[in-house]
Amino acid sequence: MRRAVNPERGAVATEFAIVMAVVLLSFFALAVYGGRVVQAENDVQSAAHEAARAASLAGTPAQASAAAHEVAATNLASSGVACGAGPSVAVELSQFGPGGQVTVSISCSADFGDVGSLGVASSQTFSASATEVIDTYRGE
């Protein structure tokens, strides 16, 4: 006896494999996106802390502001966070002086256009703030 050859034999398995490949690739892409979001949040927070520390070590308010802006931009650039129009850095110097404090706030709109086809936002704004105490015994 001869069996009839079914031309659709194996079609379900092939379709299932294709669907699973798409699902796995989408899951992988979302995991990459999630990792990039967490990394950008951490990088902006780190830049705020470094900028606040640099500002607290400066001798004058003008030097503190310049140091905070420079360190924030350098730190974000070296970590690979591409802020659209550059980071927005605000330095609070109202309590600048021995025993006072300096606060640096950074806002960065990072571009995620390369994973935008996943249905996620193509850019996201990350903000962080850090405060450092200025040494009480430093010379003026």
**What are the Cα distances from residue 135, in Å, to 51, 68, 78, 90, 111?**
16, 17, 28, 21, 38
When pLDDT is cut at 50, 70 and 90, the band that residue 48 belongs to is very high
Q: What is the residue-wise DSSP string for 55-91?
A: HHH-SSHHHHHHHHHHHHHHHHHHHT--BTT--EEEE
With respect to residue 138, please indicate whether it lies within any of the assigned structural domains: no
With respect to residue 37, please indicate whether it lies within any of the assigned structural domains: yes
For residues 64 and 93, the answer to whether their CB atoms sit within 8 Å is: yes
With respect to residue 31, please indicate whether it lies within any of the assigned structural domains: yes
Domain that holds residue 118: 11-133
Backbone angles phi, psi at 86, to 5 degrees: 90, 160
Q: Show Cβ contacts of residue 71 under 8 Å, excluding neighbours closer than 6 positions.
A: 47, 50, 51, 53, 54, 55
Instruction: List the end-to-end C-alpha distance of the chain, in Å, as a whole number.
Output: 103
How many domains in the chain? 1
With respect to residue 91, please indicate whether it lies within any of the assigned structural domains: yes
Per-residue pLDDT at 10: 67
When pLDDT is cut at 50, 70 and 90, the band that residue 70 belongs to is very high
For residues 82 and 110, the answer to whether their CB atoms sit within 8 Å is: yes
With respect to residue 139, please indicate whether it lies within any of the assigned structural domains: no
Residue 2 has pLDDT above 60, yes or no: no
